[in-house]
Structure 1
Amino acid sequence: MDQSRTLQAIVQEAHARSRPLAIRGGGSKAFYGRRTPECDRLDLSGHQGITDYEPNELFITLRAGTPLQTLEAQLAEAGQMLPFEPPHFGPAATIGGTLACGLSGPRRPYAGSARDTVLGMRILNGQGEILRFGGQVMKNVAGYDVSRLMVGALGTLGVLLEVSLKVLPRPVCTLSLLQESDPATAIQRMNLWAGQPLPLSATTFDGEHLYIRLSGTEGTLQAARSRIGGDALAEADADAFWASLREQHHVFFQGDAPLWRLALPPATPPLPLAGQTMIEWGGGQRWLRGQRDAVMLQQLAAQYGGHATMFRGGARAAEVFQPLAPTMLAVQQRLKAAFDPRAILNPGRLYATL
């Protein structure tokens, strides 16, 4: 029997019995989101395989349990890549888990997010119905884009079975530059460069040094370097740095203290917070370590038009994402009721009331 049908039968039975299911792929991102009560596991790790790949058309379709390593190796053979440079957080990472968590890497502000990459999906809703949304080319995505709604929903709206993604050619050359800076100057520079025709593909400030990655042709990189300035990093050192940032192996991310992520407008000035801050995405993503007052952080982020998430560690049974406004919570609850009326799919993983 096709594995999609096997998964469908499991969900249909769970729906009939109102029995909750914990959706699981490779388990590499099990740390993310709320910790919910133990329940039966719906294992998607065996639901693998690339079903359609057209390098000339810049799209790929594959089952959600396919390992990220397998996908990226296939794309690399054709000189292509996923635009959003997804973090793995472990060798068993799958494309389904990556999209369900909505996580993107250092290239995100310059090439688009995980959500921007999705062209279409086939999912299982909470009643065990197989639904298809979108297509394999951008022109097929019209009206209310349900497939992208699934990105970042942590499996609470549906089980991802198959996804179609936009891919891009790998850059011909990459150059990483290093500058000494203070936080305010680093934010100012990153925002200034973002408004100029520069081949930026990543920027990060670690508290003392500003790292800039450029991707393109040799000529465009050298022209950009002459405008930006800074010392060039050796290719191996640069690759190791960006990988350590993407996979959170960098020394900043080490330790057991809670890790907080603040998503803010890029031009937001340095926040009045104690401790080191790692700044990514041209100023739009900021990381903090340590025990923090969640309400204070969330209020501070909201003051600047952003939100705060307890990304790792801490009390995972409590809410870890920024509380939703009542009207937005009502919308989310209606969506949950429409896709999963008996709330059996990853109940409470995103918010306690979902």
Structure 2
Amino acid sequence: MKAPLRPADVSQVVECVRDADGAGLALRAGGTKDRLGRATSATTDVDLSALSGIVTYEPEELILIARPATSLVEVEELLAQNGQHLAFEPTHWGPAATLGGTLGVGASGPRRFVAGAARDFVLGMEFVDGLGRVIRTGGRVVKNVTGYDLWRSLVGAYGTLGVMTEICLKLWPLPETQQTLAVSGQTRTDALAQMYAWSRRPEAVTGLAYSDGTLLARIEGSTAAIEPQIKALWQDAGAGEILADTESRRCWEQLREAGALTAARGEVLYRIVVPPSRAEETVVALERMELCRCCLDWAGGLLWAVLPRDCPPARVHTAATEAGGMAARLSQGPEDPNDEAFTPLPEGVARLNTTLRQTIDPQGRFNPGRLYN
């Protein structure tokens, strides 16, 4: 591996790209999302940590523009001071988490099933493509509808399409407070049915999860508004403990971070996205693979699952495909190539992705092999 490159601005990123050899560039900053995706075959590291800082923040317009290596903690603290937040509730996986790394893997947290995914909050972007061109796409207004949503293609692309240099995000007002109803002793089947029912209720339910036999439902809003709403859920459930603001926040922060699950020695963690209506059959299929433990989020749409390391990843991907979803295997460390990280894409989608990648990065310079061969 060659000495890492450390571009300090856009012009130096362009230089790095244009001078790159055929072996490719491995893009990284905070490193907290390295466990997601396959190991890249690139031989030159590009340390993007110097591309950090807030470019523009307009609280009155609910707009933030920042560079990709900006600390996620820094962004969230700044927004909180002005009563705003990133509504997609991004996963951190460590204090070094960056804005660009989070968007690069499309990491959306518990609020995703009501607020939308990470890509839905990106209004525009500046990035450098595989030919060393600086591309500016999107805009700075929420109702921007001009042109192709090219910038959203980079969200969840694992750094395989370009180097983000500026990101424009739309913001949401930060709820004044929150409470969570925790109903213990629930079977998975009953919890999934209850989550489906509560997701359709008029209350401001912004979190629905099931972990370790406990059903969790979060209500956010003003103090006056959430009291009757959380009581309505409690009456509907017929039982449960109400978690006040501080404890509620701690609970959902843990759920945001892989459902508070970790893989022990000899185990592997998977992130599986399926339609909520297919969650039960997916867990049953995983139980036949000796499922160790799991957690359901997104009202049943996201499953964090710990399986034995010797469980063939192809079996997990097949189960996800049969349920109409996708699975991602998390690497166990630098020594793990994670060759079967992702569920194979349908032929049409794979062809579209290849066409897009060949257009934006025709020489395959960025993170080669990180997504697929």
Tell me the TM-score normalized by structure 1. 0.94
- Cα deviation, residue 9, structure 1: 0.7
The alignment status of 1:259 with 2:269, answered yes or no, reads yes
Tell me which residue corresponds to 1:326. 347
2:362 to 341, 345, 353: 341
Is the Cα contact below 8 Å between 1:205 and 1:211 reproduced in 2? yes
* Structure 1 unaligned blocks of 5 or more: none
* Counterparts of 2:233 and 2:169, CA distance in 1: 33
2:321 to 268, 278, 302: 302
- Cα deviation, residue 3, structure 1: 1.0
* Counterparts of 1:40 and 1:207, CA distance in 2: 43
* Counterparts of 1:58 and 1:161, CA distance in 2: 20
* Counterparts of 1:196 and 1:248, CA distance in 2: 26
The residue type equivalent to 1:286 in the other structure is L
* Counterparts of 1:142 and 1:173, CA distance in 2: 37
* Counterparts of 1:2 and 1:24, CA distance in 2: 14
SS at match of 2:120: helix
Equivalenced residue count is 349
**1:336–1:218 CA distance, 2 compared to 1 (3 A):** same
- Cα deviation, residue 239, structure 1: 2.4
The alignment status of 1:26 with 2:30, answered yes or no, reads yes
- Cα deviation, residue 20, structure 1: 0.7
- Cα deviation, residue 247, structure 1: 2.5
**1:217–1:317 CA distance, 2 compared to 1 (3 A):** closer
The alignment status of 1:11 with 2:21, answered yes or no, reads no
* Counterparts of 2:164 and 2:226, CA distance in 1: 39
Alignment root-mean-square deviation, CA: 1.8
SS at match of 1:223: helix
The residue type equivalent to 1:65 in the other structure is A
Is the Cα contact below 8 Å between 2:162 and 2:361 reproduced in 1? yes
- Cα deviation, residue 293, structure 1: 2.9
* Counterparts of 1:243 and 1:277, CA distance in 2: 17
Is the Cα contact below 8 Å between 1:36 and 1:317 reproduced in 2? no
* Counterparts of 1:42 and 1:117, CA distance in 2: 26
The alignment status of 1:199 with 2:220, answered yes or no, reads no
Matches within 5 A, 1:260-299: 260-270=270-280, 271-272=283-284, 273-274=286-287, 275=291, 276-291=293-308, 292-299=311-318
- Cα deviation, residue 266, structure 1: 1.3
The residue type equivalent to 2:294 in the other structure is T
* Counterparts of 1:235 and 1:95, CA distance in 2: 26
* Counterparts of 1:336 and 1:327, CA distance in 2: 14
Matches within 5 A, 1:94-173: 94-173=98-177
Deviations 1:269-313 (A, max 9, x none): 523132332100000001111233322222222222112211343
SS at match of 1:123: strand
Percent sequence identity over matched residues?
A: 36
- Cα deviation, residue 58, structure 1: 0.7
Is the Cα contact below 8 Å between 1:26 and 1:94 reproduced in 2? yes
Matches within 5 A, 1:224-239: 224-229=229-234, 230-239=240-249
Tell me which residue corresponds to 2:330. 311
* Structure 2 unaligned blocks of 5 or more: 1-6, 235-239
The residue type equivalent to 2:205 in the other structure is L
SS at match of 2:11: helix
* Counterparts of 2:159 and 2:226, CA distance in 1: 40
Tell me which residue corresponds to 1:221. 226
Is the Cα contact below 8 Å between 1:260 and 1:312 reproduced in 2? no
Tell me the TM-score normalized by structure 2. 0.89
* Counterparts of 1:288 and 1:347, CA distance in 2: 27
The residue type equivalent to 2:13 in the other structure is L
* Counterparts of 1:345 and 1:287, CA distance in 2: 28
* Counterparts of 1:269 and 1:113, CA distance in 2: 19
* Counterparts of 2:97 and 2:8, CA distance in 1: 23
- Cα deviation, residue 38, structure 1: 5.0
